[in-house]
Amino acid sequence: MAELTYREAVARGIAQEMRRDENVVFLGEDVAKAGGVFKATVGLYDEFGPLRVRDTPISEQAILGAAMGAAMTGLKPIAEIMFSDFLAVCFDFIANEFPKSRYMSNGQTKCPLVVRTGNGAGSRFGAQHSQSVENWAMMIPGLKVVAPSSPADVIGLLAASVRDPDPVIFFEHKSLYAVKGEVPDGEILDTLGTAKILRAGKDATIIALALMVPRALEAADILARDHGIDCEVIDVRSLVPLDTQTILGSVSRTGRLFTVEENPRLCGWGAEIASIAADECFYDLDGPIVRITTPHIPLPAADNLEDIVLPTPQRIVQKIVQSMN
């Protein structure tokens, strides 16, 4: 058992899959000798060399175009888009090309690739470099969408993504890169479409993703200690496929559902989960479903303003106490 940072787990996860399968290749801007702008790919170029770890021009369309061509001809590329906001630059590949190729070719063409990207706020990068855009990808049929919150999950879910026959958008939260966690020795392989219950509880269910997971756990501790409210906390981990069995089972037990989302409120991923829960668990609910989100605004760069708009443990506690009372 080793303690790794989230960013070190990214490099270990990529290396694990590149050692296992010589068809796995890695490409992106400044990912080779520089080790990535977030230093999440340090050491890969030294181990695997320039044929399998490649720097690209500053062109998101070129990166994903090359990755798609490589995937369709037998390789298993991992492509990095530095900031998830830049998925908008190459959205034709995300929306029209990757997810449609197997369907439109009647299974004759597969596109097994992973797009890794730095997602989320908290680093004071401003409105064009701080968005949480997992809901952009979630809405597209044919894509799988993953967002880990811990170093161990980074490795296991990245391995599952690389081995999956379909394209996966893998969101790494920029504000989690420095977070440390215990990681088992040896190969780690997780399963896409599985949520994790990180804290058991009987009074309410809190659903969270990525950076919001540790904040939800902190809020749950405060709620139990100061308000006598025992919350179950679930890390969604995978938005597509979505582990509805775990989520709905928890909601049916507790009777209350709260989502904690970093994405803007309008059309956020929690709205879909709320809709499913309302359909499937309506008669088990003891109160309205409550979504705790970022407002529908561009994210500010000023530290005090960015901190205000993001869900915090204190705001989570306030909303849950208000609703439960």
Residues 6+ away with beta carbon under 8 Å from 54: 25, 26, 27, 31, 32
Instruction: Give the phi and the psi of residue 123 in degrees, each rounded to 5.
Output: -110, 10
pLDDT band at 88 (very low <50, low <70, confident <90, very high): very high
pTM for this model (two decimals): 0.97
pLDDT band at 139 (very low <50, low <70, confident <90, very high): very high
What is the arithmetic mean of pLDDT over 80-94? 97
Structural domain spans, the chain: 2-183, 196-324
Q: How many CB atoms lie within 10 A of CB 227?
A: 15
Can you give the pLDDT at residue 1?
A: 84
Nearest of 231, 237, 271, 236 to residue 255 by alpha carbon: 231
Architecture of domain 196-324: 3-Layer(aba) Sandwich (3.40)
Question: Does position 269 have pLDDT exceeding 90, yes or no?
Answer: yes
pLDDT band at 164 (very low <50, low <70, confident <90, very high): very high
Can you give the pLDDT at residue 25?
A: 98
Question: Does position 325 have pLDDT exceeding 90, yes or no?
Answer: no
Out of 129, 173, 227, 296, which one is annotated catalytic?
129
2-183: CATH topology is Rossmann fold (3.40.50)
3-12, 15-24, 103-112, 272-281: least confident range:
103-112
Could you give the percent of the chain with pLDDT greater than 70? 100
pLDDT band at 168 (very low <50, low <70, confident <90, very high): very high
Active site residue 129: yes
